[in-house]
């Protein structure tokens, strides 16, 4: 009776072939360079995918015909996105909630906040990509945007936007660091007027929201949920909740101390919306001679971190060097 050999899996077979290979066997391309661990890959239709070891963490979308650039999805090692598009209970009037996005309600009298077009409305129009950079610690991208009045095509702001995705230490936890350098056109002054809407916002997944999923809001002052956090100044604000059957995740939105009006107010709701308010009570003017530099960090994480952990991540974020906004690809 002939004995039958057990079938080997593909991975086991590959391992066996490696063991049986000649000890002095050379790789097929000995001069091939290692693959960067963190990459940003340009895609069709004005998109760029940020990946860590081939796993997509987020995608930047910058169609010039859209109202504004934005990031979607934002993923950890868990499958679902931590953010969503639109308000779960008001998808029409709140369709402008684009995952993670930057804009402002009133810029020198022009509304850049909602998705309506026409008189008194503005769009953030992508002009060109200024560079892509890959690396083992992070991947970066920089773009040029014009903040434009739709009524007459007037450019109100010229923005260089530098974005960096930095895993800390793996796909279950990573930073999105966004630096914006604003200039007004020659001879002009442009003002971010007093408003609780803008600059950096995130629309959390429905299951993470306090109202829909029993999630939790926590800020740097130890205040919890909308009743305590709403429009209160803070260094950072975390929104965490259930993302899968047995998994939790969230985002800590961090304000840099070099930003105007720091510590700024946070406009946060139990319905899953979170915004860092640049100019809630004090307008911020931008001239044509010296740029206004604004920096935000978003820590996308698994689990529900306590105040000490969020504070530690914020402290590390503050220590990071500012990017060279004039570097070449």
Is residue 113 one of the residues assigned to a domain? yes
Is residue 71 one of the residues assigned to a domain? yes
CATH number at residue 192: 2.70.98
Parent domain of 171: 34-319
| Interatomic CA distance for residues 225 and 301, integer angstroms | 19
At residue 93 the predicted structure's pLDDT band, cuts being 50, 70 and 90, is low
Spatial CA neighbour of 182 closest among 104, 117, 265:
104
At residue 2 the predicted structure's pLDDT band, cuts being 50, 70 and 90, is very low
Tell me: pLDDT of 8 over 50: no
Concatenating the DSSP letter of every residue in 138-186 gives -EEEEEEEEEEETTT--EEEEEEEEEEEEESSSTTEEEEEEEEEEEPPT
Written in H, E and C, the secondary structure of 72-85 is: EEEECCCCCECECE
At residue 21 the predicted structure's pLDDT band, cuts being 50, 70 and 90, is very low
Is residue 38 one of the residues assigned to a domain? yes
- % residues pLDDT > 90 (the chain): 84
What local confidence, expressed as pLDDT, does residue 90 receive?
77
Q: What is the domain count for the chain?
A: 1
What local confidence, expressed as pLDDT, does residue 88 receive?
84
Is residue 27 one of the residues assigned to a domain? no
Is residue 24 one of the residues assigned to a domain? no
Tens of pLDDT, residue by residue over 181-226, are 999 999 999 999 999 999 999 999 999 999 999 999 999 999 999 9
Q: What is the mean pLDDT of residues 276-292?
A: 95
| Interatomic CA distance for residues 158 and 105, integer angstroms | 17
Taking all residues of the chain, what is their mean pLDDT, rounded to a whole number? Answer: 92
pTM of the model: 0.90
Tell me: pLDDT of 16 over 70: no
Tens of pLDDT, residue by residue over 110-129, are 999 999 888 999 999 999 99
Is residue 226 one of the residues assigned to a domain? yes
Cβ-contact 234, 311 below 8 angstroms: no
Is residue 250 one of the residues assigned to a domain? yes
Is residue 203 one of the residues assigned to a domain? yes
């Amino acid at each position: 009776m002939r004995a039958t050999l057990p079938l080997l899996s593909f991975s086991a077979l590959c391992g066996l072939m490696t063991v049986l290979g000649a000890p002095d066997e050379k790789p097929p391309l000995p001069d091939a360079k290692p693959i960067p661990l963190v990459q940003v890959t340009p895609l069709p239709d004005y998109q760029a995918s940020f990946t860590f070891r081939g796993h997509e963490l987020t995608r930047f979308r910058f169609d010039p015909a859209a109202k504004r650039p934005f990031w979607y999805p934002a993923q950890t090692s868990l499958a679902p996105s931590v953010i969503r598009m639109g308000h779960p209970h008001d998808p029409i009037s709140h369709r402008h909630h684009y995952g993670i996005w930057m804009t402002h309600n009133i810029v020198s009298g022009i509304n850049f906040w909602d998705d309506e077009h026409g008189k008194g409305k503005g769009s953030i129009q992508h002009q060109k990509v200024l560079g892509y950079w890959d690396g083992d610690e992070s991947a970066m991208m920089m773009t040029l945007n014009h903040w434009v009045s739709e009524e007459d095509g007037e450019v109100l702001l010229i923005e260089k936007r530098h974005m960096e995705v930095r895993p800390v230490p793996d796909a279950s936890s990573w930073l999105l660091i966004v630096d914006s350098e604003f200039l007004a056109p020659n001879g002009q002054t442009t003002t971010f007027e007093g408003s609780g809407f803008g600059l950096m916002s995130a629309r959390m997944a429905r299951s993470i929201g306090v109202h829909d999923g029993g999630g939790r809001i926590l800020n740097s002052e130890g205040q919890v949920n909308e009743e305590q956090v709403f429009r209160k100044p803070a260094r950072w604000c975390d929104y965490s909740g259930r993302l899968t059957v047995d998994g939790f995740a969230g985002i800590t939105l961090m304000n840099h101390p070099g930003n105007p009006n720091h510590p700024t107010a946070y406009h946060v709701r139990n319905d899953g919306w979170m915004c860092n308010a640049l100019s809630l009570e004090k307008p911020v003017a931008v001239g044509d001679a010296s740029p206004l530099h604004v920096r935000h960090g978003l820590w996308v994480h698994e689990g529900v971190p306590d105040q000490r952990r969020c504070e530690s991540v914020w402290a590390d974020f503050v220590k990071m060097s500012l990017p060279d906004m004039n570097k070449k690809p």
